[in-house]
Structure 1
Amino acid sequence: MSTFDRKDLSYFLGKQLMFTYDNGWNYELYIKNEQLVDYRIHYGIVGQKWVKNQPVSIARIGEEICKISWTEPTGINVGIVINLQDNFYQGTIFFPRWVINHPERCKGFQNDQIALMEFYREAGPTYPIEIIDEFANITFIKDRGINNESVIACAASELPADFPHNLNL
């Protein structure tokens, strides 16, 4: 029997995290509430992509461990495990072939391009799927409160050079 309440997600909600995958990709995630995340990609195959209000499934699987999963309008599927106790993250991303062939199509603010992303997804190709399964080190954690629209509000390229250290830690 677990020693924590599996339904209590309050420990994770409102957290802003930055992490760098072992392959060098750098991502930022804001757990906005029990159903949504915002994120931006600083560096990686789809670097400079940013998203608000991505519907997710969140499950608490340990005292300081949660799993978050989602499917994007692009057809990209994501499953991540965040371990705040040990400051690491494990993610599996399933990229449809069209994203691997044309990653530049995903850059920018996804929310303004959903119809276009769905068009690219339907046009394909989807297969073969490229699976990226990597560990990441969490390099920044800050509690930003729930439903804070200012956390992810621009592309990574628009952030100050000293980000995230300019956040008044």
Structure 2
Amino acid sequence: MSSHPDLDLPNDLAAFIGNHFIYTYANGWRYEWYARNATTCDYRIHQGLVGGRWVTNQTMNLVQLAPGMYKADWHEPTGTCVSLYFDIERRLVHGTIFFPQWIAGENQHPEKTICYQNDFVEDMKRFRDDGPAYPYVVIAEFAKITFMEQRGIDNDDVINAAPGQLPDGYLDRTN
């Protein structure tokens, strides 16, 4: 967790941790994300450049920016960096993904990342190291939260299978 000694910022993560989200970016990419606890997240990518990819227990940095507003950042073994801003009240996400060239550049190979990353971490690191990494491809988009539900902390049943067709009732509802 990061903080600034001269700022009086809230950092009450209790209302956010344990939430499970499905959101769709303006470009059509659909993601599913779970705040497993204060330091890790799980996610599945249903549609988009790396649709079919899923990860559990991804280390992240999570902060509260204001009531109902949170930011999660992480760096993946692929070399990809992700920053997500969640505005719960307005049901929106702003995501910035920093893809290395080998995934999203001119000679891209996003298919190498489409797997359950946890089983292939050493491969992801090797692909990252083989590169190329620079210049990063930066994709920044707004997304609409179409599903939001509290599932509790460290729930292994939330993101527990490869991405696929979302079950009925997972769109346009909150619990």
Matched, 1:75 2:79: yes
Matched, 1:20 2:24: yes
Aligned to 2:56: 52
Give the C-alpha shift of residue 161 in structure 1. Answer: 4.5
Q: Distance in 2 between matches of 1:144 and 1:161?
A: 16
- SS of match in other structure, 2:46: strand
Q: Distance in 2 between matches of 1:53 and 1:89?
A: 21
Give the C-alpha shift of residue 164 in structure 1. Answer: 2.5
Matched, 1:92 2:96: yes
Could you tell me which amino acid in structure 2 is paired with residue 10 of structure 1?
A: A
Could you tell me which amino acid in structure 1 is paired with residue 98 of structure 2?
A: F
Q: Distance in 2 between matches of 1:38 and 1:103?
A: 19
- SS of match in other structure, 2:143: strand
Could you tell me which amino acid in structure 2 is paired with residue 31 of structure 1?
A: A
Aligned to 2:152: 145
Q: CA RMSD of the aligned region, Å?
A: 1.7
Q: May I ask how many residue pairs the two structures share in their alignment?
A: 164
Q: Distance in 2 between matches of 1:115 and 1:16?
A: 28
Q: Distance in 2 between matches of 1:163 and 1:74?
A: 33
Unaligned runs of 5+ in 1: none
Which one of the candidate residues 159, 162, 166 is aligned to 2:168? 162
Identity of aligned residues (%): 40
Unaligned runs of 5+ in 2: 1-6
Moved segments of 4+, more than 6 Å? none
- What TM-score does the superposition give when structure 1 sets the normalisation length? 0.92
Conserved 8 A contact 2:81-2:99: yes
Give the C-alpha shift of residue 8 in structure 1. Answer: 1.4
